Amino acid sequence: MATESTTSRLRVLLAEIVDLKNVVSLLEWDQQCCLPPSAGEGRAEQLGTLQRLVHERVTSDELGREIDRLAESTRGLDPDADEVRLAAVSRRVRDRLVRVPADLVAEIARVTGVAYGEWARARSESDFARFRPHLERIVDLKRRLADCFAPYDHVYDPLLAEFEPGMKTAEVRGIFDRLRGPQAALIRSVAARAPVDDGFLRRRFDEAAQWAFATEVVGELGYDWARGRQDKAVHPFTITLGADDVRITTRVAADFFPSCLFGSIHEAGHAMYEQGFDPAFARTPLADAASLALHESQSRMWENLVARSLPFWEHFYPRLRARFPGVLDDVPLLAFHRGINRVSPSLIRVEADETTYNLHIMLRLDLEIRMLEGTLAVKDLPAAWNEGMRQHLGMVPPDDAHGVLQDVHWAGGSIGYFPTYALGNLVAAQLWERIQVDLPGLDEDFRHGRFGGLLAWLRKSIHRHGAKFAPQELVRRVTGSPIDPAPYLRYLEGKLAAVHGS
């Protein structure tokens, strides 16, 4: 039985850790949104001090003992009871840090700190040779990191587990193998049809009006402005500074409409997830996302399945036109809808459309796994990248800046992160099929600007559970099946038929 005193000491320790992590988030938010030009060095020192305090507390023996006591005292209770899950999740989070020696953590921080600058320069000069020794070191360090979690089925498993608790490399490969062929076939079929015009998205849209429109829209979708705010950032992100403080960021381009609006909706999708955690989980590790794939399922659902749908724009298009007088007078609703859903393969992942995006991810996953296994040497990476692009997307980058050097992730030491993007797309579509069953009037709701029904469903089914369930467990609970690519393929087929004609 969990006594009051057992849980209360643990909760004090956990609350302090969550507070410190949220403060680290504030330091990072401020670094990206507000920091004066000369203050970078001082901020790095502050971040170092805070992160060391977090590490000391998470790995402390006292925390380990209190987690064990909670696990003991709740033995035999309903395995879904919050306290049972709190013990399990707390232990998982702690074990991840306890297993890794402090000097390996420091070495990874040092190497990636240097690698970031070298990558940025290598990319701007399209010079892979400059980045190569750093990536070799990073791959080596990540292999050593994985070895801290031996034995494992696959060397990639422990890296993936940082972002997707409980998932195996074999599982992800199995999902992607079922996706690859049909998705490539869909893209080929689009290429055979008449191209869609989206040139009007590059007209001049007043920046202040874009900002105001995005603010209005995400508020109507359900982002709680009393518990968040939006700022500009070079690389948009969502960040949680507390149970009632989940901030989004965006960028605004006067000559490219989708950046601000769809970016804001994407980030608001992330933020509504974090705003929806059970308030009872506040200041515990349960107040976290189940995984990055689940997180991405929320941002992608609002961005693509909701905000690129026709019913959504039946509601918002007149207001959009009124907000930018004259700019879209010659673009009827259906043409606008087709334009924002245009399929067109791109060399650059972050510019990819909904249909081709996953192919970028499959390429990266394949390369990450082979580098970790040692079956692909870093020196051979550019050639493998280009060959993969040819196979997956039928195009080859003109240089490494538009190819293997385009993403920051590897320079930052994030290996195991990419697959979560594609998994998020699949989960979004899988949840969507369930939502269609549970909420049959959804299109009609959207047409009238009513998004509360959808948000309530997501809150109840996904958000409030926070990190209580592992990602596959949560998806199975809600949809009856583990992560499955079929609903995503069905969704794409329907969308392409509507947009490009069947």
Q: Is 326 buried (19+), middle (13-18) or exposed (0-12) by CB count in 10 A?
A: exposed
Our finding on whether 208 is near a second copy (CB under 8 A) is no
278 in contact with a second copy (CB under 8 A): no
- Candidates 6, 9, 51, 53: give the one binding a second copy (CB under 8 A): 53
The answer to whether the beta carbons of residues 130 and 121 sit under 8 Å apart is yes
Tokens of 421: 């993007």
Residue closer to a second copy (CB basis): 109 or 395:
109
Q: Beta 230-232 vs 245-250: how paired, if at all?
A: parallel
Whose CA is closest to 172, among 163, 184, 158, 160?
A: 160
AA identity, residue 432: W
Residues 6+ apart with CB under 8 A from 197: 335, 338, 339
Taking CB under 8 A as the binding criterion, the range among 13-21, 199-207, 317-325, 392-400 that sits at the site for a second copy is 13-21
**Per-residue b or e along 162-183, where b marks 16 or more CB atoms closer than 10 Å to that residue's CB:** bbbbebbbebbbebbeebbebb
39 binds a second copy (CB under 8 A): yes
Site stretch for a second copy (CB under 8 A), options 41-49, 94-102, 288-296, 366-374 = 41-49
Asked if 16 touches a second copy (CB under 8 A), the answer is yes
Q: Minimum distance between the CB of residue 46 and a second copy, rounded to whole angstroms? A: 5
Is residue 27 a contact point for a second copy (CB under 8 A)? Answer: yes
The active-site residue, picked from 66, 164, 267, 274, is: 267
- Choosing from 10, 14, 20, 175, the residue that interacts with a second copy (CB under 8 A) is 20
Q: What is the phi-psi region of residue 151: left when phi exceeds 0, alpha when psi lies from -120 to 50, beta otherwise?
A: beta
- What is the distance between the alpha carbons of residues 397 and 246, in angstroms, rounded to a whole number? 38
Which is nearer to a second copy, 250 or 472 (by Cβ)?
A: 250
Q: Which of 9, 96, 229, 232 binds a second copy (CB under 8 A)?
A: 229
Q: Least separation, in Å, of the C-beta of 45 and a second copy?
A: 6
**Residue 105 interacting with a second copy (CB under 8 A):** no
Q: If binding is defined by CB under 8 A, does position 430 make contact with a second copy?
A: no
The window from 1-9, 40-48, 312-320, 435-443 that contacts a second copy (CB under 8 A) reads 40-48
The answer to whether 49 contacts a second copy (rule: CB under 8 A) is yes
Rule CB under 8 A: choose which of 99, 173, 283, 464 binds a second copy.
283
Residues contacting a second copy: total by CB under 8 A: 37
- Is 267 noted as a catalytic residue in this protein? yes
Least distance (Å) between residue 117 CB and a second copy: 12
Would you state the structure tokens that stand for residue 306, as one six-digit string?
A: 């909701």
Residue 315 is a binding residue for a second copy (CB under 8 A): no
Pick the binder of a second copy from 225, 377, 380, 448 (CB under 8 A).
225
Of residues 402, 360, 366, 408, the one with CA closest to residue 384: 366
* Interaction of residue 36 with a second copy, rule CB under 8 A: yes
**Rounded-to-integer distance, Cα 304 and Cα 317, Å:** 16
Among residues 283, 209, 184, which one has the least CA distance to residue 241?
A: 283
**Contacting a second copy (CB under 8 A), which of 95, 127, 206, 245?**
245
Amino acid at 151: P
Angle of helix 471-479 versus helix 292-300 axis, rounded to 10: 50
Interface positions with a second copy (CB under 8 A) = 15-16, 19-20, 22-23, 26-27, 30, 34-39, 41-43, 45-46, 49-50, 53, 224-229, 241-245, 247, 282-283
